[in-house]
Structure 1
């Protein structure tokens, strides 16, 4: 097992990714799914299996960015940002090994969602030669450094890359995970930055019933946004 790297409480595991839930039919999409800081890849495997999407190759790496010490919003520390970028780069490396003709996506829970959203932002900014079609963040938040809008506007090609992404985003308000307090501000921030369709649900708290509801919503959303059914997905 390879060693891990740690900076001020941030931990990114550098491990070979060999944890898959292979498609039962033709592979039409590849999605990296990341676990929360208190979980592991087996939690991801069980969750994506429960979605029962036959044409998706799920990749559940044993990697997560674990630091939760920084302030939310623009006060993220430089070392924390470097660790997030390192985890996002790891996701990019995984997806770049997948077939060129399949749709790419990323998602996760908690800190895994943070990495997924960081990866999506970095893709929009052109940091990697890849761009996800779908991005899922469950009970996570955007790691905003400065203004997303200005970064997108002043980066060549970023507007088009952001516009092609579809985002499914949920959070619990009692956890205070978001750098914003109102749903309208979250939607406004992503909209002004030029991101594509955003499905955002905010819950006062996340019970088991809510998790099941979110899972059903996510399954339907992925079926609509990805070419994984016999009929063309709705737009």
Structure 2
């Protein structure tokens, strides 16, 4: 594995393969899960396995977007934006390889959450021929909060694509990782832009461990948002 670009603190790994946690039973959903800058893709594997969702194919690629010079909103540097968009496109390419008849999703921690939210936004704006049903951002942020509403409003089809996405957005109570803004501003921007069912939660976080509450809450949210159980609403 080798880095294909490293500019001004932004780094995207260009990888030939990814790690899959295959479904136990019929595959009904495919979700790309991205780790944080201080984690390894095996951390993602362990976390998604702990959710015990039998009908989901999890894709946990060894990819990380690392930005050490991030400035919020419209002040993001062009090199950083290009690296972030490259990471989001990598996610799109992974999901486009999945069966057409399964629903798609993306999520992650920290910098992985940044990529997940950027991917969701790019999908709403029609950058890829795909649109995720579920998006999870844990201890991450949205890179274009200040302009997302106008971008959605002035892009043909973006309103409908955004409305079909469900977003689970959280941060740890002990950690405050969002730069130059408040989480509530990100949530409000997503809602104003028309994204569907934006769920915001502050959860307990102890050192580098994923608290049981957030895991159980996420599992329940995914079960209600995806057609992966007999009681899941098919929306």
Please indicate the TM-score interval, normalised by the length of the shorter structure.
Answer: over 0.9
1:105 alignment partner in structure 2: 105
What is the alpha-carbon distance in structure 1 between the residues aligned to residue 91 and residue 186 of structure 2? Answer: 24
Q: Distance in 1 between matches of 2:152 and 2:44?
A: 31
Q: Which deviates the most, 208-217 or 59-68? A: 208-217
Matched, 1:215 2:185: no
Residue of structure 1 in register with 2:73 after alignment: 73
Aligned counterparts of 1:146 and 1:189: Cα–Cα separation in 2: 8
Runs of 4+ in 1 over 6 A off after TM superposition: none
Gaps of 5+ in 2: none
Q: Is the 8 A contact 2:142 2:186 kept in 1?
A: no
Indicate yes or no: 2:29 matched with 1:29: yes
Looking at structure 2, the residues matched to 86 and 164 of structure 1 have their Cα atoms a distance apart, in angstroms, of: 23
Q: What does the per-residue CA deviation read over 1:203-233, in whole Å, with 9 as the maximum and x for residues that have no partner?
A: 5x62268722111100000000000002332
Gaps of 5+ in 1: none
1:181/1:59 CA distance change after superposition, 3 Å:
same
Q: How does 1:116-135 map to 2 (within 5 A)?
A: 116-135=116-135
Q: 8 Å contact 1:167–1:197 — kept in the other structure?
A: yes
Q: Residues of 2 paired with 1:180 and 1:18: CA distance? A: 33
Q: Superposition RMSD on alpha carbons, in Å?
A: 1.8
TM-score normalized with structure 1 length: 0.93
User: For 1:224 and 1:97, how far apart are their aligned partners in 2?
Assistant: 25
Report the Cα offset of residue 90 of structure 1.
0.2
Counterpart mapping for 1:183-222 below 5 A:
183=184, 185-203=185-203, 206-207=205-206, 211-222=211-222
User: How many residues were matched structurally?
Assistant: 233
Q: CA deviation at 1:2?
A: 4.3
CA distance in 1 between partners of 2:213 and 2:130 (Å): 31
Matches within 5 A, 1:125-164: 125-144=125-144, 146-164=146-164
